[in-house]
């Protein structure tokens, strides 16, 4: 302790000067903390005039956020430290009353010791930024303020009980720059007698809602921290186009009304040339033999189906290619096969398809706005992807969208990746009770029933994609479980049907499919209509199939050995019982995935069926039969459209999904001073500044942890060599909860960058701030060298080259 008293000796002198005594048993006592806070307030007129002159009034809210954030961050870090100290002393809230008084005393001394160490940091002047009077830029003043608030915040948090500025009663002067609260108070949350870890959680919640820069948020007593409608700021522009790029069908919805006007998103309808009106167009794309784009959607499908012979053989026709991104290790050079077996780069195929949708959207909107010309950059774009997709697939789609000219490099924020079932949920939660085909919701909308838990099942062509949401106070949503599902979407039924045709026409079908892929397309196309109801199916047998089959034997004979199909004067008839069999695997897969969720929670009130496949009565009846006893089954009108409509809403307000379950444990590789009791011997290395343990997996976030929308986490890291001029960061992920080293099995590197740190004056004490932004459907990491301001950001590239 003596050395600690020595360290504060300078302050004793200054306290004596000001006539205030210092308590040597606890030099950083509550009165001293109040005094330090008063010093900051004393300086405030100088600080605010400096801020005003250097940054202008528009930075007011930024500065307020910054101060709140630093105080709360300091509070969270210190309470965690206290928790850790308690752990070391074998104390916790439950046992602390009965603990040995000596143990309690040592614990208190340790905390005081920590407080003193922080207190003395300032005297050592090691980490101090430029003093106020030397600050030249707005950034300098901000840094000065950040440092002051964080330092003071840590001292306050270590007081027993913790102190905080009284944010809830801001000063009442006329000067709007008087944003530093007048008083400090004992933390009200701490007084609520909640456990320390719960207290940290509350503080972190407060911290998170302080974080989004540029978005103002006022805390108020009545506002719970957990995401009320007002709590999460809205963002996004008024002009939004949302693309639902599906396995079977794609489409888009848009909004060009100001975001405060609540209008229904507009949907583009397709198929006018072939007397159809559907909200999506087939995700089919045709290229000529030189791999030049020819057509997309209905046009591509019809061009392909109607052409014959050599033309068809040379052209490259792609369908269902979205599934090539499911559960695959991806890279940007990956190739996919057209129906004729020829290959093209997947990225080019995706990019051309997206480009076609983009151009159609811009010209369609122009036609409906008296010819006003728009460019892609006038809009915020939303692109939906299955929730169960890996990050790398989402990243692949972003790259394809960039190549399609939807966004340009440097403007990546204008493209939002949305999760399909989430988007549907966002739309459906606002629907009135009569907005659903199946079952009745009662009189309330979902978003007016806080606490309600429901499952959204997006039944698409390729994937069954499931998310579980709880409605929060105010209508925002919280994800309750990691996204789940499978690849047993509507096309599974098509596949079974095709396999049955293959079975009927054994010895003919394979040859036929090779020779006439376009005719096969047509049969499959016709079959879609029959998936809606459980009725007998009747499909005309294409000319060439009949001809090829007849060459071998009489066509009726093919039907003798199969059950459930008959030949009827040029038509293939399939019984409804057989049709039901085609659905079986898919239906069982869907109900199994839903059942897995019911195993984890018993509070689900609704199942919401969305996606084109949910149009099928067969599917809806199956889910009703299976789950009607457990919950209410809902299906909105036009279930295929709700994904893109919800995606428009999501583009207006990404905070609507207030938190999500994190799918991986993420970490960064670091070194620590070697400790033979904790570290692996083989990880030990020595440099001129010490003995270190390398390859340590420092956790940034745990698998299954709730991550809030737009959440940012910060860590401070230090160099391992006093004269190193750059620091390299490598990021890792694993499905495991407990991981100590980066090279453990099932741990993979997901990205890296290097941050320059040219000024080595502070040696090992240089701080590099690592800021991780989670909570979007992707993740970005930024490393900043505090001294030079040198900074590196990556949207972590999850793709392996």
* Binding residues vs ligand ATP (CB under 6 A): 244, 246-249, 280, 322, 420, 458, 460-463, 489-491, 528, 531-532, 611-613, 615-616, 640
- If the CB atoms of residues 41 and 322 are measured against ligand ATP, the closer one turns out to be 322
Task: Work out what residue 129 binds among ligand ATP, Mg ion, none; the CB cut-off runs from 5 to 8 Å by kind.
Answer: none
CB proximity list for 649: less than 8 A, separation 6 or greater = 265, 423, 426, 427, 430, 656
Binding of Mg ion at residue 489 (CB under 5 A)?
A: no
189 closest CA partner among 202, 172, 207: 202
Task: Supply the minimum distance, in Å, between the C-beta of residue 642 and ligand ATP.
Answer: 9
CB proximity list for 544: less than 8 A, separation 6 or greater = 512, 515, 516, 519
- If the CB atoms of residues 609 and 670 are measured against ligand ATP, the closer one turns out to be 609
- If the CB atoms of residues 485 and 564 are measured against Mg ion, the closer one turns out to be 485
What number of chain residues touch Mg ion (CB under 5 A)?
2
What the block records as the tokens of 447 is: 């978003």
Task: Supply the minimum distance, in Å, between the C-beta of residue 383 and ligand ATP.
Answer: 12
C-alpha 703: how far from its chain's center? 13
Task: Work out what residue 248 binds among Mg ion, ligand ATP, none; the CB cut-off runs from 5 to 8 Å by kind.
Answer: ligand ATP
- Which residue is it, tokens 């929308």? 709
Task: Supply the minimum distance, in Å, between the C-beta of residue 368 and ligand ATP.
Answer: 23
CB 336 within 8 A of CB 350: no
Phi, psi (degrees; rounded to nearest 5) at 691: -110, 130
- If the CB atoms of residues 517 and 639 are measured against Mg ion, the closer one turns out to be 639
Q: Is 413 exposed, middle or buried (0-12, 13-18, 19+ CB in 10 A)?
A: exposed
Task: Work out what residue 531 binds among ligand ATP, Mg ion, none; the CB cut-off runs from 5 to 8 Å by kind.
Answer: ligand ATP
- If the CB atoms of residues 649 and 706 are measured against ligand ATP, the closer one turns out to be 649
- The only residue of 162, 251, 297, 460 in contact with Mg ion, by rule CB under 5 A: 460
- If the CB atoms of residues 297 and 655 are measured against Mg ion, the closer one turns out to be 297
Q: How many angstroms separate the CA atoms of 455 and 216, rounded?
A: 33
- If the CB atoms of residues 74 and 423 are measured against ligand ATP, the closer one turns out to be 423
What the block records as the tokens of 262 is: 């609540």
Handedness of CA 347, 348, 353, 359 (dihedral sign): positive
Task: Supply the minimum distance, in Å, between the C-beta of residue 463 and ligand ATP.
Answer: 4
Task: Supply the minimum distance, in Å, between the C-beta of residue 459 and Mg ion.
Answer: 8
Task: Supply the minimum distance, in Å, between the C-beta of residue 608 and ligand ATP.
Answer: 14
Task: Work out what residue 280 binds among Mg ion, ligand ATP, none; the CB cut-off runs from 5 to 8 Å by kind.
Answer: ligand ATP
- If the CB atoms of residues 265 and 612 are measured against ligand ATP, the closer one turns out to be 612
- If the CB atoms of residues 470 and 641 are measured against ligand ATP, the closer one turns out to be 641
What the block records as the tokens of 694 is: 């390398």
Task: Work out what residue 615 binds among Mg ion, ligand ATP, none; the CB cut-off runs from 5 to 8 Å by kind.
Answer: ligand ATP
64 closest CA partner among 177, 224, 201, 141: 177
Task: Supply the minimum distance, in Å, between the C-beta of residue 139 and ligand ATP.
Answer: 46
What is the enclosing helix (H) or strand (E) of 344? strand 343-345
Q: How many angstroms separate the CA atoms of 770 and 784, rounded?
A: 6
Q: Over the range 656-688, which residues count as b (16 or more CB within 10 Å of their CB) and which as e?
A: bbbbbbbbbbbbbbbbeebeeeebeeebeeeee
* Cis before 410? omega within 30: no
Q: How many angstroms separate the CA atoms of 609 and 615, rounded?
A: 9
Task: Supply the minimum distance, in Å, between the C-beta of residue 456 and ligand ATP.
Answer: 13
- If the CB atoms of residues 7 and 495 are measured against Mg ion, the closer one turns out to be 495
Task: Supply the minimum distance, in Å, between the C-beta of residue 381 and ligand ATP.
Answer: 17
Task: Supply the minimum distance, in Å, between the C-beta of residue 464 and ligand ATP.
Answer: 8
Task: Work out what residue 92 binds among Mg ion, ligand ATP, none; the CB cut-off runs from 5 to 8 Å by kind.
Answer: none
Helix, strand, coil percentages (3-state) for the chain, rounded to 5, are: 40, 25, 35
Q: For the segment 239-268, give every residue that binds Mg ion (CB under 5 A).
A: 246
CB 296 within 8 A of CB 281: yes
CA distances in angstroms from 694 to 10, 318, 726, listed in the order given: 39, 48, 17
The three-class DSSP label of residue 27 is: coil
Task: Work out what residue 249 binds among Mg ion, ligand ATP, none; the CB cut-off runs from 5 to 8 Å by kind.
Answer: ligand ATP
Stretch that binds Mg ion, among 150-158, 169-177, 326-334, 452-460 (CB under 5 A): 452-460
- If the CB atoms of residues 153 and 489 are measured against ligand ATP, the closer one turns out to be 489
Q: Which residue is nearest to Mg ion (CB)?
A: 460
- Tell me the HSE value of 447 on the side-chain side, using a 13 A CA sphere: 16
Stretch that binds Mg ion, among 49-57, 238-246, 390-398, 687-695 (CB under 5 A): 238-246
CB proximity list for 727: less than 8 A, separation 6 or greater = 717, 719, 754, 755, 757, 768, 783, 785
Task: Supply the minimum distance, in Å, between the C-beta of residue 463 and Mg ion.
Answer: 7
- If the CB atoms of residues 279 and 476 are measured against Mg ion, the closer one turns out to be 279
Residue ranges with strand state E in 122-225: 163-165, 184-186
Task: Supply the minimum distance, in Å, between the C-beta of residue 523 and ligand ATP.
Answer: 13
Task: Work out what residue 139 binds among ligand ATP, Mg ion, none; the CB cut-off runs from 5 to 8 Å by kind.
Answer: none
In the complex, which residues of this chain contact Mg ion (CB under 5 A)?
246, 460
């Amino acid at each position: 302790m003596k050395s600690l008293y020595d360290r504060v000796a300078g302050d004793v002198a200054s306290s004596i000067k000001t006539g205030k005594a210092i308590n040597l048993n606890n030099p950083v006592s509550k009165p001293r903390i109040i005094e330090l806070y008063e010093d900051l307030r004393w300086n405030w007129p100088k600080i605010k005039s400096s801020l005003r002159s250097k940054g202008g009034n528009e930075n007011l809210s930024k500065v307020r956020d910054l101060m709140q954030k630093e105080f709360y961050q300091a509070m969270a870090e210190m309470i965690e430290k206290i928790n850790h100290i308690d752990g070391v002393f074998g104390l916790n809230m439950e046992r602390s009353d009965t603990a040995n008084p000596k143990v309690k005393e040592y614990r208190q001394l340790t905390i005081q010791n920590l407080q003193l160490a922080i207190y003395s940091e300032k005297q050592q002047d090691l980490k101090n930024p430029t003093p106020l009077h030397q600050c030249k830029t707005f950034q300098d003043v901000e840094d000065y303020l950040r440092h002051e608030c964080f330092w003071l915040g840590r001292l306050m948090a270590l007081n027993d009980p913790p102190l905080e500025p009284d944010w809830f009663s801001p000063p009442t002067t006329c000067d709007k720059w008087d944003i530093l609260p007048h008083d400090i108070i004992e933390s009200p949350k701490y007084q609520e007698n909640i456990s320390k870890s719960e207290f940290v959680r509350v503080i972190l919640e407060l911290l998170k809602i302080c974080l989004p820069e540029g978005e103002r948020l006022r805390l108020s007593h009545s506002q719970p921290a957990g995401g009320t409608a007002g709590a999460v700021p809205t963002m996004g522009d008024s002009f939004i186009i949302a693309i639902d790029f599906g396995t079977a069908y794609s489409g888009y919805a848009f909004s060009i009304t100001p975001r405060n006007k609540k209008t229904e998103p507009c949907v583009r309808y397709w198929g006018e040339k072939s007397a159809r009106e559907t909200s999506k167009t087939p995700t089919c794309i045709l290229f000529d033999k030189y791999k030049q784009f020819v057509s997309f959607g209905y046009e591509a499908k019809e061009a392909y189906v109607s052409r014959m012979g050599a033309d068809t053989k040379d052209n490259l026709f792609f369908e269902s290619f979205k599934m090539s991104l499911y559960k695959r290790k991806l890279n940007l050079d990956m190739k996919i096969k057209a129906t004729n077996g020829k290959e093209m780069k997947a990225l080019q195929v995706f990019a051309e398809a997206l480009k076609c949708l983009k151009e159609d959207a811009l010209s369609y909107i122009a036609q409906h706005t008296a010819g006003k010309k728009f460019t892609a950059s006038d809009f915020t774009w939303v692109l939906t992807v299955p929730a169960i997709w890996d990050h790398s697939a989402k990243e692949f789609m972003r790259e394809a969208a960039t190549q399609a000219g939807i966004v340009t490099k440097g403007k990546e924020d204008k493209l939002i990746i949305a999760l399909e079932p989430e988007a549907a949920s966002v739309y459906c939660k606002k629907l009135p009770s009569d907005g659903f085909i199946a079952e009745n919701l009662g009189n309330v909308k979902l978003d007016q029933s806080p606490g309600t838990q429901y499952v959204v099942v997006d039944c698409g062509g390729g994937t069954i994609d499931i998310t579980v949401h709880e409605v929060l106070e105010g209508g925002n949503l919280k994800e309750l479980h990691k996204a789940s599902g499978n690849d047993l979407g509507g096309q599974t039924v098509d596949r079974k049907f095709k396999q049955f045709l293959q079975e009927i026409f054994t010895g003919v079908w394979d040859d036929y499919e090779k020779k006439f892929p376009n005719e096969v397309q047509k049969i499959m196309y016709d079959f879609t209509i029959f998936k809606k109801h459980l009725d007998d199916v009747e499909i005309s047998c294409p000319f060439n199939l009949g001809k090829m089959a007849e060459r071998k034997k009489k066509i009726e004979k093919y039907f003798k050995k199969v059950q459930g199909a008959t030949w009827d004067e040029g038509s293939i008839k399939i019984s409804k019982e057989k049709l039901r069999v085609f659905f079986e695997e898919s239906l069982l897969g869907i109900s199994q995935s839903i059942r897995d969720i019911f195993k984890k929670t018993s509070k689900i009130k609704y199942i919401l069926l969305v996606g084109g496949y949910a149009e099928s009565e067969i599917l809806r009846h199956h889910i009703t039969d299976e789950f009607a006893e457990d919950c209410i089954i809902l299906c909105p009108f036009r279930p295929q459209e709700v994904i893109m409509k919800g995606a428009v809403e999501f583009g207006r307000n990404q905070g609507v999904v207030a938190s999500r379950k994190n799918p991986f444990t993420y970490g960064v590789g670091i070194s620590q001073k070697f400790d033979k009791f904790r570290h692996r011997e083989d990880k030990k290395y020595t440099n001129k500044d010490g003995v270190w343990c390398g390859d340590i997996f420092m956790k940034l976030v745990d698998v299954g942890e709730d991550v809030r929308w737009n959440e940012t986490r910060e860590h401070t890291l230090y160099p391992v060599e006093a004269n190193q001029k750059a620091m390299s960061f490598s990021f890792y992920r694993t499905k495991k909860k407990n991981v100590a080293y980066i090279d453990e099995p099932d741990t993979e590197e997901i990205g890296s960058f290097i941050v320059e740190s040219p000024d080595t004056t502070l040696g090992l004490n240089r701080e590099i701030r690592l800021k991780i932004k989670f909570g979007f459907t992707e993740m970005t990491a930024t490393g900043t060298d505090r001294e030079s301001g040198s900074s590196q950001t990556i949207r972590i590239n999850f793709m392996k080259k």
